[in-house]
């Protein structure tokens, strides 16, 4: 049975509430403005230092972010792990004649000459890592022009790879442009109108307004990545080492999301969109002549699934199998969460599959916001989601004020009473 069919029995209000809770969980795991500012200053300082050396290879060096920081899909690592900040060091004055090994060495020598960086430096197959004593580390990959077709939106590059002892094609700028364009697309949503008794579906089909600065696809990818991290941690070291990489999850989710937008499918909630994206993701894994491919859409020669084709120690087989196991687990677990009976079971399931700490943080924030709004008679029920919310809304028809709670002789809500909704069986 498909995901979309299996959740038809769930009410719109319940699905949206679960979707909103998942959004709030990943929001607590995102980079804060302070963290982002520290990271940005750190990599800008590294870039300036690299560009300031005498080596002709490094003259004019520019550093820009790639990966999750650039795509706005960062998720706080689980446990004691650090944020992995991927950077591209573009070397406009180097070329293929410079040699891949010489480029790696030029970057290493320059960083090692710095009194602070030298103590924080370690090698990577495609570059160098600067390990900060805190919440993050910088992974710096040098790159040279693959062609003269350079722009901020599309930048085909060659990057060194010490494992292959050669150059590899890459295009992080082009990938980010591809992803950003898809995030701007919006699935069709059935607009809901509210009566005192029930939700009534109107004839109009239109997109809901974006209620956060982060787009729906960004948030979906964050949800998947967080689940993957918790799932991997529960399976031991080998599962952690061989878990699905973010590039594969992000690419497959991007293709699936673009498909449902272009096909103009209609949805009641963000949660329904998430389930369809999840179901469609494996359709974009190519298998040809015994090899697996998940190509960089902006650079088809770059295969994010190349390690799935490694025969040594059955590594490729294990990586592909782990993707399949994770995909089945996240599908089953999210549907289990949505099918929770009662608020306590919902919170238990969310904690089990997304981590106890962020669920507690969201719960505490919800209680604080609802209590404050209840006290000021500003607690409302969303016309779209049916969930309790605090604060003013854009139109008077969009929400109705919830009266102050006097059932127990006061205005505050306890953890046992807030959000005890009928759609969780309470």
Q: Which two tokens stand for residue 204?
A: 């109009």
Q: Which two tokens stand for residue 367?
A: 């209680």
Burial class (CB in 10 A: 0-12, 13-18, 19+), 150: middle
* Torsion from C-alpha of 190, 194, 195, 201, nearest 10 degrees: 0
Q: Which of 333-337, 345-349, 388-392, 413-417 has the lowest mean pLDDT?
A: 413-417
pLDDT above 70 as % of the chain: 78
Q: What is the pLDDT of residues 385-405, one digit of tens each?
A: 333 333 333 322 233 333 332
Tokens of 358: 């962020």
Given a contact cutoff of 8 angstroms between Cβ atoms, the answer to whether 373 and 391 are in contact is yes
Residues 6+ apart with CB under 8 A from 71: 176, 179, 180, 218, 221, 250
Q: What is the pLDDT of residues 256-292, one digit of tens each?
A: 999 999 999 999 899 999 999 999 999 999 999 999 9
322 burial via Cβ count (<10 Å: 0-12, 13-18, 19+):
buried
Distance CA 133, CA 123 (A): 17
User: How many Cβ atoms are within 10 Å of 383's Cβ, its own excluded?
Assistant: 17
Q: Kindly report which listed range (216-225, 306-315, 396-405) carries the lowest average pLDDT score.
A: 396-405
Structure tokens at 327: 């995909």
**Dihedral (CA of 263, 264, 268, 273) sign:** positive
Question: What is the rounded CA–CA span in Å between residue 167 and residue 21?
Answer: 44
Give the residue among 357, 361, 359 at the shortest CA–CA distance from 346. Answer: 359
Token pair for 10: 């769930």
N-terminal to C-terminal alpha carbon distance within the chain: 28
Q: What are phi and psi of 145, to 5 degrees?
A: -60, 130
Handedness of CA 146, 304, 25, 131 (dihedral sign): negative
Structural domains of the chain in order of their starting residue, each with its CATH number: 1-30+180-426 (no CATH), 33-170 (3.30.460.10)
Range with lowest mean pLDDT among 29-33, 57-61, 169-173, 276-280: 29-33
- Model confidence at 375, in pLDDT bands (50, 70, 90)? low
């Amino acid at each position: 049975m498909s995901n979309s069919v299996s959740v038809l029995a769930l009410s719109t209000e319940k699905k949206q509430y679960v979707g909103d809770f998942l959004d709030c969980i990943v929001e607590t795991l995102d980079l804060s403005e302070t963290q982002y500012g520290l990271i940005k200053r750190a990599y800008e300082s590294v870039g300036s230092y690299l560009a300031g050396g005498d080596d002709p290879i490094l003259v004019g060096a520019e550093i820009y972010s790639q990966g999750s920081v650039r795509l706005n899909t960062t998720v706080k690592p689980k446990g004691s792990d650090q944020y992995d900040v991927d950077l591209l060091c573009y070397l406009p004055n180097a070329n293929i004649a410079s040699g891949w090994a010489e480029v790696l060495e030029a970057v290493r020598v320059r960083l090692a000459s710095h009194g602070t960086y030298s103590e924080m430096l370690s090698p990577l197959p495609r570059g160098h890592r600067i390990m900060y004593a805190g919440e993050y580390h910088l992974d710096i990959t040098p790159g040279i022009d693959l062609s003269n077709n350079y722009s901020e939106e599309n930048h085909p590059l060659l990057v060194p790879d010490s494992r292959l002892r050669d150059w590899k094609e890459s295009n992080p700028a082009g990938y980010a442009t591809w992803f950003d364009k898809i995030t701007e697309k919006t699935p069709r949503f059935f607009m809901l109108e509210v009566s005192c008794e029930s939700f009534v579906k109107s004839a109009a089909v239109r997109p809901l307004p974006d209620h956060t600065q982060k787009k729906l696809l960004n948030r979906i990818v964050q949800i998947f990545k967080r689940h993957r991290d918790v799932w991997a941690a529960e399976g031991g070291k080998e599962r952690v080492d061989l878990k699905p990489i973010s590039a594969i999850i992000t690419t497959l989710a991007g293709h699936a999301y673009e498909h449902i937008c272009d096909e103009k499918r209609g949805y009641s909630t963000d949660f329904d969109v998430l389930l369809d994206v999840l179901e469609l993701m494996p359709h974009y894994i190519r298998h040809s002549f015994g090899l697996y491919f998940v190509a960089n859409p902006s650079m088809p020669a770059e295969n994010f699934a190349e390690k799935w084709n490694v025969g040594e120690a059955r590594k490729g087989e294990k990586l592909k199998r782990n993707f399949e196991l994770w995909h089945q687990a996240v599908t089953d677990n999210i549907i289990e969460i949505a099918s929770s009976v009662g608020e306590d079971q919902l919170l238990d399931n969310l904690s089990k599959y997304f981590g106890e700490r962020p669920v507690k943080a969201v719960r505490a924030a919800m209680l604080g916001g609802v209590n404050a709004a209840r006290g000021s008679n500003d607690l409302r029920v969303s016309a779209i989601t049916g969930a309790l919310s605090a604060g003013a809304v854009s139109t008077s028809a969009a929400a109705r004020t919830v009266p102050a709670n006097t059932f127990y002789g006061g205005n505050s809500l306890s953890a046992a009473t807030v959000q005890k909704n009928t759609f969780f069986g309470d």
